[in-house]
Each structure stands twice: as C-alpha cells, then as structure tokens.
Amino acid sequence: MTRWQEVIKRRVEGGDLRPDYRLGDFASYSEAMSETLRLAEKVARGDGSVLITGETGVGKEWMARALHAASRRSAGPFIGLNCAAIPNELLESELFGHEKGAFTGAVRAHRGYFELAHAGTLLLDEIGDMTPVLQAKLLRVLDEKAVRRVGAETSMLFDVRVIAATRRDLPAELAAGRFREDLFYRLAVVTLDVPPLRRRREDIPHLAVNHLERIGTRMTVSARTIEDDAMAALVDYPWPGNVRELINVMERAALLSDRSSIGRDHLPAIIVGQRAAAADVLPGGFLQLSLPDWKTAKLGEVRRQALEAVERAVLADRLRRYEGRIAATARSCGLDPRSVYDKMKRLGLDKADFKPRPGGGGQPDRGADEG
C-alpha cells in the first residue's frame, strides 16, 4: 500500500473529513513548510499582527482562517477584505465605514470592516496593492486602535486582530517607495511565508488526497482514491497556480471519473504530458503544446500556449545564464524586475532552481549586479 493510500484509509476510518479550517491542513513533509507551520501554531495563541506572504494560490486566506480558528478569538467573526478587488475610491469606506450623507450616494450609514470584525479577526488580503494615502490612514487606525467613519466627528475603539497577506515582495516595494516602512513593521510583527507547491512536491500526495476527501463530502462522486500513475503525474507537474490549481484539478478529475479511483485519463493533458507525437508539434518541430490537436484548436488557444512555451523557454535560459539573478535577467530581456517576477510565477519558474549548486563548475556571463 502506498503512502497516499494509507493516508486515505486512515482518514476514512477515523472519520476525519471535516470541512473547517485547521492548521493541521498544512501538515507537511517539507522542512520549509513545517517551519512555517510550527511558527503559525505559536502565533495563533497570541494576538499580534501577522503578515502572510506567498504566491497566488498557495493558501494565504486558508492560513489566516486557520489562525483565527486556533486563536482565543475563534468565537468571534472572521472578516476578509481583498484590497485589490475594491476600487481605491471605495476602499476607505469599506474599511472604516461612513455616515449617511458623507458623500454622494451615501444614503445610509455603513459599518466598516473594522467594526464588523470587532472581537474577531480582520484579514487584509493583497495589502501590497493598497495606495500610499490609504496606507497612511490605516497606520493611524492601527496605532490608535480606534476608527472614524468617513464623515463622522468622533472615533470608536475596536478590538480586532489584523492579519495581512500579499503576493508581492514587500521589502522590494519598500525599496521602491511604494509601501510605507512604518506600516510594514506594524503589520509584520510575525511573518509567515507559505512556500509555492513546486518547492514542496513531497506534500502533493497529502494535499491531493485531502482535497479529494473534501470534494467527496460535498459532491456525489465515485472516486475516493488516486491511482499510482496519476499521482506520479501530479507530483511531476510544476503547479504554477499552486494549491488552488490542484484543488480545481482534483474536482475536475472527480467529476470525470466513473469509477472508484482517479487515473491519468481523468487529468488535464498538460499534467500527464499527453503529446501525440507529430500531431502536437507545430510546423518547424521546435514547439510542443498540450493541445490534443493543434490543427483543430482555436487559433487564440494555439497562440496563447505557443507564446507561453516560448516565454518559458527563453526566460529559463536567461535565468540559467545569470544564475537566477533577477536584475540581470530582466535587463537581458528588456523588462523590469517586477515583470520578470510576475512571468516567473505565471510560468512556474523559481529562481532557486537556477542558482549554482555547491561544487558546480563554470562561470556564467554575469551582469553588472547580483540581483
């Protein structure tokens, strides 16, 4: 019996299929993730601000909810606000609330997220996208532990634990002057970094089984286990969308399977590497796509995958040449470093994979910096 089959058997027999949020959901065979989890378990017992960092899809909100569930505030509300999803002109009102008549369209008083989260936890997701003006107002509210609605004359005290999350590199944002240093240190009393899935492949079996179980509790599906060759394909895939992508793949596979297990035939072609030789190779022979047949696919999809394949190949070559140094790679590509970071995340590339290994020989063509 394989390790992931043992995991399924143990959980099914123990009835441990609850859909709530627990730090145990992050149990990991990866040392980096295990260290994050050990720190999270200590932080959960306290009341200080926490900053959760990591790529899109790694589970930052899940981690925040798990921290709340393990805290003394668990009986209170958990309120989440995505700062990147609300227009800047409305974000202040959403955070702090407003009085009736405070501005055009304010036909009634509105409680802000700090009021709604009183005695509980407030998650400020994508805090790195907040404007400098609003950053200054947020800092004042956090320092005074009091909030004043837009249009109000008095402030009200609140009791809220603030957890912030971001996909951005905030130290780089500080250096560029896009994020306030005082707010950063106010939020990052403790920082929890959630590693991307490709950096902890040993966790993929555990996560795949866990989410298959969750899917089974809320949907009528037959699949309850994952075949070995399908699991091997899942482990080999780089997961640019991280855990969120894995969840979607497992849900798709569970829906497609008409038997008690999930096999390679239930996984997307890009994961199992189904490339039917010549049918998948564009004219010229140098570019392969995950499309079953590029001759009948929509042109837009062919263009998208072709561009992505070229970008991945070129960027990987430059990163290898400059030993994973972003600034030098960006200059050679004619891009700014942030654009390179964004492309790397989208394409599933990690600069750590291009760093020279101890004892390796050869000197690459270096740029003028060590970015």
| Domain shared by 47 and 173, yes or no | yes
Instruction: Using the Cα atoms of residue 30, residue 36, residue 37 and residue 38 in order, give the sign of their dihedral.
Output: positive
Domain assignment present for 17: no
Domain assignment present for 20: no
User: Which pLDDT tens digit goes with each residue over 75-117?
Assistant: 999 999 999 989 887 898 889 988 887 777 777 888 899 999 9
| Domain shared by 135 and 157, yes or no | yes
Domain assignment present for 113: yes
Q: Are 289 and 309 a contacting pair, CB within 8 Å?
A: yes
Spell out a b/e string for 334-368, using b for 16 or more CB atoms within 10 Å of the CB, else e: ebebbebbebbbebbbbbeebeeeeeeeeeeeebe
pLDDT of residue 304: 75
| Domain shared by 106 and 204, yes or no | no
| Domain shared by 55 and 155, yes or no | yes
Domain assignment present for 346: yes
- One pLDDT digit (tens) per residue for the chain, 371 residues: 444 445 444 443 444 433 467 888 787 888 889 999 999 999 999 999 999 999 989 999 999 999 999 999 999 999 999 999 898 878 988 899 888 877 777 778 888 999 999 999 999 999 999 999 999 999 999 999 999 888 888 889 999 999 999 999 999 999 999 999 999 999 999 999 999 998 999 999 989 998 898 888 878 888 889 999 999 999 989 898 899 999 999 999 999 998 999 999 999 988 987 433 333 444 444 444 444 455 566 777 677 777 877 888 888 888 888 888 898 898 888 888 888 988 888 888 888 778 775 544 444 444 434 44
| Domain shared by 182 and 209, yes or no | no
pLDDT of residue 210: 87
Last residue of a domain, one of 194, 220, 251: 194
CA distances, 25 to each of 10, 28, 34, 191, 288 (Å): 15, 9, 12, 19, 37
Last residue of a domain, one of 131, 159, 194: 194
CATH of the domain at 296: 1.10.10.60
| Domain shared by 165 and 205, yes or no | no
Q: Are 200 and 350 a contacting pair, CB within 8 Å?
A: no
pLDDT of residue 222: 83
Domain assignment present for 294: yes
Domain assignment present for 76: yes
| Domain shared by 255 and 301, yes or no | no
Domain assignment present for 55: yes
| Domain shared by 155 and 46, yes or no | yes
CATH of the domain at 72: 3.40.50.300
| Residue 155 lies in domain | 31-194
| Domain shared by 296 and 234, yes or no | no
Domain assignment present for 148: yes
CATH of the domain at 236: 1.10.8.60
pLDDT of residue 357: 55
pLDDT of residue 358: 52
| Domain shared by 295 and 215, yes or no | no
Q: Among residues 234, 286, 193, 216, which one has the least CA distance to residue 18?
A: 216
| Domain shared by 135 and 266, yes or no | no
Position of tokens 């606000």? Answer: 81
| Domain shared by 52 and 176, yes or no | yes
Total of domains in the chain: 3
Last residue of a domain, one of 194, 219, 252: 194
